[in-house]
A and B are shown apart, each in its own frame.
Chain A
């Protein structure tokens, strides 16, 4: 019989292969010896993280990320059926993500949305060149735990700061985490404007969101 380490490896490899049947087969096998939560966290999610890294390195492409996410979703669905009543895995958190007003760059922001969604967050991507107020409205509407703010130009970067001010004005800052990103943003900038975190790329965004919301 395969050891736990081998099973975890197999789950992760199956996700990286982006093949749904391989993932389902690995899940069936792992179910015999492992708890659903462990299969998801140590096997499937770990594989998904690796997919993110391979994407950043130009070794896997967006369709692969989506196929892997789809396969992971199928694996999780099988496991959910086995979870004790009332403990079905819930969304990791609700995130509103968009590119700030004045800025039409949305390629990176969309990749971040896709990866967050693939990792199990409920993501509301509100697009690009989004009026600053809309972030607040949307966050209220969907009861967001986090707002993701993308800006690709030094001239639109201050929009991130203004949204944090708006959140404070609305008395929402305590309940909503703010994650900033986009090429001109840095850790130092995030600290300066009082954001909760900065992420350099999509896989880091997933890791940081998990850190803050789980």
Chain B
């Protein structure tokens, strides 16, 4: 019987596949990305290399020496203290302690301070608290420390915000009204994000991480790009990272443009140039994991998309690697065999600048 290798399904389940089957899955995964994004598939050599990474005997694998990349953390502090469905481990610790642990014990190259709600809008009422936490962290740390949150434009729609929910309007065929609601929400979101970051920058943050950008579709992306542009104009030295919510910018509005480019339906390699144009320093592309497919299929697909983004991007690309993204299975604590294989493939095949 042919040797079988232990891989994962996208939901984390163990599967055992032969080398032939692994190659078949990789070919199908890369073909899917190429078809959707109208980009090149991985070459024969890259497919072999990916298969080799997937079949390595060690439980954890690592990049070759000399190929190490910076590792950026988002709300890691919440993951130590918190336990609310986001893989928190529930160890009581302040955010300062969490940040310092990442710097001094976990080897993070940059770190981020975030609010428990992790969206910009709810930071407004507690801005003084956030500014103070930022100052204290900055006084105790050396590595660059950002402020991070999600644009999360959904919070501007009913029942959470002032503008009528475009989902409800759409269902009632009120398309124009739905579009106007999104435009208003985007404008308010931009204003809030700029206001919040003006204050945090005065309190010493090294930069900002717009995390899960475009979660609410093209309007969300539009509002975020405008916030980046405004912050770049006001603060030439602010370090700005834009990380995406998913691989595709969902077309909720359908007609919003930035720099003459329609935002709906953009794939990672089409998002990168706009993020650079707005004035960001780092781009965080995302590819979603399909829980019904194997890790070979998912990883090949993710690497294909990310490689195309890295090729066109003028900014460093720090790929988003976590539960359910970047070829990693969707589990609260993603299995280390899958995480390290996906990371190695992203660095050595897709050529990412950081994770």
Contacts and interface: CB of A to CB of B under 8 A. Distances in A.
Interface in B1-36: 9-11, 13, 36
A60 B170 CA distance: 15
Given A70-B173, A107-B154, A114-B170, A62 B254 contact: yes
A189 B266 CA distance: 31
Given A70-B173, A110-B167, A61 B330 contact: no
B180 interface: no
Contacts of A107: 154, 215-217, 250
Contact of B265 (A61, A63, A200): A61
A66 B175 contact: yes
Interface string B31-47: 00000100000000000
Q: Name the residue in B167, B215, B218, B249 with the highest tally of chain A Cβ atoms < 10 Å from its Cβ.
A: B167
A154 B332 contact: yes
A63 B254 contact: yes
A79 B157 CA distance: 38
B39 to A, nearest CB: 13
A59 B170 CA distance: 18
Interface string B143-174: 00000000000100000000000010011010
> Mostly helix, strand, loop or mixed at chain B's interface?
loop
Interface string A163-199: 0000000000000000000011111110000000000
Given A58-B36, A154-B323, 19 more contacts: A57-B36, A58-B248, A58-B267, A60-B251, A61-B264, A62-B250, A62-B251, A63-B170, A63-B254, A106-B154, A107-B154, A107-B215, A110-B167, A125-B171, A156-B85, A183-B330, A184-B11, A184-B291, A186-B291
Interface of B: 9-11, 13, 36, 85, 154, 167, 170-171, 173, 175, 178-179, 215-218, 248-255, 264-267, 288-292, 323-324, 330-332
